[in-house]
Structures are given as C-alpha cells and as structure tokens.
C-alpha cells in the first residue's frame, strides 16, 4: 500500500514539474504558428536554404522577432505612409547583420559632426554653391537620366553603385544620353578604394578620383559587367585595364547638407550621392518613410534622383542598390525636411558631378 502511494505521489510530482514546461512549449508553438507560415513563404519567395536544421531554427527565431518589429512599424505609419513586410530578402537577418552588409566606409569619422563638415574631414573639396531655383518637383527617372536599378548582392559595393548613378545622371544632362556604367570597374581599378571593393568605399573619393586628370575614365556595364554579387569573387580588385572606357567625369564637388542647398543642387547638378543609416530599409515595401528609427551615422551610400510632395508629405525619391525587387521598383521615398538636415544622416556627405562626357 505504501509502495503504491509512493508511486502515485512520485507521478504527481513529476507532472507538477513537467506540466508548466509542456504548457510553455505549447504556448510558444501556438504563438509562432502564424510567423512560421510567413517564414515558410519567405523561404519559398527568396529560395532561402540553410546549411542545417540548427541554422534554420536560429533564422526562424530572428524572423519571428523581426515580425514584431514589422508590426510595430506598420502601426506607427498607420498604413498611410510607408508599408513594411516580411517579404524582403533580409527578414531573417538581425539589424546588425543588415547594416554591416552595405559598404559605406567613412574611416571611423564621427558623423555626428555638422553636415557641412563631414566631407571636409573626408576630402578637401571643392565645395559647390548651387544657385538654381528648385522646381516644385523633380524626377530624374521619368526624365531618362537613370538606367535599370542594379543589385549589389552580398558585396559591400553600395559606394560604387551610388557613384555610377551620379555619373549616369550627369551624362544625360550634358550629352542628352546616358549609359549604364560599370561598378565592377570602380571596384577593380579605383586606386582610392579601401580593399578589393566588397568591404566598403567612399563615393566622394571615387568621384574625386574619376575627376582627376590622371584618371582615363570609366568603362560601361556591358563591357565590364558586375561579377561580385556573391561577395566572394576571387577576381574582384584586379583591374582589367585592356577593356575600353566610355565616359569621363570632368568635375565634381561637395554640396552643403542643408535641405534648401540639396534641393537646389538636385536641380543644378543632377543625381546626388548621399549616405544614410540604412535601418529603415530592411523591411521597407512602399510609400514614404515618415517615422524612421535611425541615427545620423551613415553606413549605406544611395543616390537621390528626385523629390516631390504626396498627400502633403515632402519626400526625397532615392535610388537603392538592392535590385528592382526592393521597395518601389528598386527605389524608396523618405520624408524631406524643408530646412535643416535630412532624416537618417542623409545630409552627412552629399556629392555631385558638375560635368561628364563620352570619350
């Protein structure tokens, strides 16, 4: 009798200890059910494969946490401005992983400096003073001053993509035509780059190099295609000097980062290279980013291709280098200040080309 009582008591104690764990596990599974379905959809859309089950579970955990961020971001914008989604190719990455992949390298300069001193610390000048009166709105994409949106892939080459966007835009202004220019050429041949091209660079220094009288020019995308999307191409950084060049930069300069100066510069010089904190872009799908959660420290180089007003909200139209699948056909819009500095550090280092020609 005592033996049976002991067994019964032991079983009850075991259930008491185990039941909370079972309940917790079940609750967690139920909580994650909707996230798991979305995670499966994400894997299918982006053909995401993981090396083992442990990595898959780790990525799912990150994905689930990101879903909470997406829900918050959509509630902040109330679906009236920007929308955010799990169907972006970085939904299984942490914020740190995402921001570290881009490739803008400012040599550890503190970008909390005033906007007009950032580039002075990076390069000596020249400094531009635009005087053109801005139009009510401007769109260089509609004007044919841009080429198809490109994709930097896993390579930190945003600096090269921002640079070519500026020169392509300037060619349209100066010659009436534009050509898709080679980011790979800049990554392989720019003598000012900090590495083989995939670990970062500076559009301001690259434009300075292109405008130097000793620089012969830049190759076309067709003649010198992009080969670094994987981030591990062994030939990256090895200049193929025998490939013919098609264009040359005849002038460049730094623009003051104050909003009115940037607006005037957009009209006078064309597409502008700017840097920004990329955090708001990780889950971005469409609309105007009006409540960006970001800093003023730039980690990503992009190109301003226009501006306008939508339902009373002033915005910059910005070309990215994440491919056409990102955002609004490869572009995003972000709130534009009428005075002072722009959101997410976009006033930090604004660079323009003042002339370009075919060779």
Q: What is the pTM of this model?
A: 0.86
pLDDT at 211: 94
Catalytic choice (294, 320, 344, 349) = 320
**Which candidate in 158, 198, 294, 344 is catalytic?**
158
Q: Please tell me which residue in 161, 299, 300, 349 is annotated as part of the active site.
A: 300
- Clarify whether 199 is annotated catalytic: no
Give per-residue pLDDT as tens, 123-182. 667 889 999 999 999 999 999 999 999 999 989 899 999 999 999 999 999 999 999 999
102 is catalytic: no
pLDDT at residue 77 in the model: 65
The string over 142-169, giving b where at least 16 C-beta atoms fall within 10 Å of a residue's C-beta and e elsewhere, is: eeebbbebbbbbebbbbbbbbbbbbbbb
215 is catalytic: no
Q: How far is CA 308 from CA 9, 122, 263, 305, 324, in A?
A: 74, 30, 10, 11, 21
Q: Which fold has domain 95-358?
A: Cathepsin B; Chain A (3.90.70)
| Per-residue pLDDT at 196 | 63
Q: What is the mean pLDDT of each run of 10 residues along the chain (359 residues)?
A: 44 40 37 80 94 95 95 76 92 92 59 51 78 96 97 92 97 97 94 75 91 92 93 79 95 92 97 94 94 84 96 95 96 90 86 97
């Amino acid at each position: 009798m005592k033996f049976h009582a002991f067994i019964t008591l032991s079983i009850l104690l075991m259930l008491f200890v185990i039941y909370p764990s079972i309940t917790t596990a079940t609750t967690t599974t139920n909580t994650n059910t909707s996230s798991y379905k979305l995670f499966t959809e994400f894997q299918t859309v982006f053909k995401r494969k993981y090396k083992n089950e442990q990595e898959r579970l780790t990525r799912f955990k990150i994905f689930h946490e990101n879903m909470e961020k997406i829900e918050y971001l959509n509630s902040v914008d109330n679906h009236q401005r920007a929308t955010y989604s799990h169907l972006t190719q970085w939904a299984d990455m942490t914020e740190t992983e995402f921001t570290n992949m881009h490739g803008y390298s400012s040599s550890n300069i503190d970008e909390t400096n005033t906007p007009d001193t950032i580039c002075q610390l990076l390069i000596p000048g020249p400094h531009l003073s635009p005087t053109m009166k801005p139009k009510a709105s401007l769109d260089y994409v509609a004007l044919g001053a841009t080429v198809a949106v490109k994709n930097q892939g896993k390579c930190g080459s945003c600096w090269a993509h921002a640079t070519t966007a500026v020169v392509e835009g300037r060619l349209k202004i100066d010659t009436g035509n534009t050509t898709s220019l080679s980011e790979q050429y800049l990554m392989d041949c720019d003598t000012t780059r900090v590495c083989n091209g995939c670990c970062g660079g500076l559009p301001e220094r690259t434009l300075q190099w292109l405008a130097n009288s000793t620089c012969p020019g830049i190759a076309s995308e067709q003649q010198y295609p992009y080969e670094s999307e994987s981030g591990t191409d062994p030939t990256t950084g090895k200049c193929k000097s025998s490939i013919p060049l098609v264009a040359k930069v005849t002038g460049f300069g730094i623009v003051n980062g104050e909003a009115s100066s940037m607006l005037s510069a957009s009209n006078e010089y064309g597409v502008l290279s700017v840097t920004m904190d990329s955090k708001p872009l990780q889950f971005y799908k469409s609309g105007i980013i009006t409540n960006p959660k970001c800093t003023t420290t730039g980690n990503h180089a992009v190109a301003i291709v226009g501006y306008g007003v939508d339902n009373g909200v002033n915005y910059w139209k910005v070309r990215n280098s994440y491919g056409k699948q990102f955002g609004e056909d490869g572009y995003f819009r972000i709130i534009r200040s009428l005075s002072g500095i722009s959101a997410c550090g976009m006033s930090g280092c604004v660079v323009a080309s003042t002339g370009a020609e075919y060779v």
